[in-house]
Amino acid sequence: MHLSKGKKISILVILILMIDQIVKILIKTHMTIGESIHIFSWFQILFVENNGMAFGMQFGGTIGKLVLSLFRIALAGFIIYYIRKLIEQKAPTGILVGVALILVGAIGNIFDSLFFGLFFSESTPTQVATLFPDGGGYAPFLFGKVVDMLYFPLIDTTLPDWVPVFGGEHFLFFRPIFNIADSCITIGVIYMLLFQRKFFISASPSTSGGKSESGS
């Protein structure tokens, strides 16, 4: 059975979203805040939550959280509209996949903000969260916390004493803790910057205008 580009992109988005949410639910219902599972010396599953943006960045308290949640919803709506326009314009599959990954990232963290506060009890350093607790969730609609768990401390060492200024101090790279949705945004953006720039250059008004002038 032949599937249209639109259906293929929809299936891709749904599948990655399901993986993102299943992983988050498993982490939320099996780990306490700050608990870690060492996979390799440079990779851990480390459970943290944040009220803010991707990679644990914060954004302005309660009002900031509301604004960010509404912005994410608006952004997801715009990306869906943009994907539909790209399909109508018969854009290359690579472009559609790149934009779809960004959409997955936006929607994945939207789900956390919209529903996790309603569906889960609060995670603490000593208590694992419960799904659909009797007393209700830990936060109202739009105010759920984003679940992060991917941690890659690629370099974790003490700098030699001979290093100027920072010698003898602890050095850690890479500090951010993120999730699958965050990864999708990063991969989608980097992929399009590296491999799909020609499409956006050729589609820009200035470029198309220049071509028409040189051809006239």
Give 64-81 pLDDT, tens digit per residue. 778 888 888 999 999 999
Query: What are the distances in angstroms from CA 141 to CA 7, 78, 115, 215?
Result: 30, 22, 6, 56
**Of the listed 134, 148, 156, 161, which one is catalytic?**
148
Angle at 172 between CA 166 and CA 178, to 5 degrees: 145
Does 77 reside within a domain?
A: yes
Active-site annotation holds for 161: no
Count of domains observed in the chain = 1
Does 46 reside within a domain?
A: yes
Angle at 18 between CA 4 and CA 177, to 5 degrees: 120
Active-site annotation holds for 20: no
The Cα 43–Cα 58 span in angstroms is 23
Query: What are the distances in angstroms from CA 212 to CA 91, 198, 208?
Result: 20, 17, 6
The Cα 116–Cα 142 span in angstroms is 9
Does 206 reside within a domain?
A: no
Does 210 reside within a domain?
A: no
The Cα 149–Cα 24 span in angstroms is 8
Give 9-21 pLDDT, tens digit per residue. 999 999 999 999 9
- The pTM score is 0.84
CB atoms closer than 10 angstroms to residue 77: 11
**Of the listed 20, 134, 156, 182, which one is catalytic?**
182
Give 145-187 pLDDT, tens digit per residue. 999 999 999 999 999 999 898 889 999 999 999 999 999 999 9
Does 160 reside within a domain?
A: no
Structural domain including 15 reads: 5-154+167-200
Are 129 and 121 in contact by the 8 Å Cβ rule? The answer is: yes
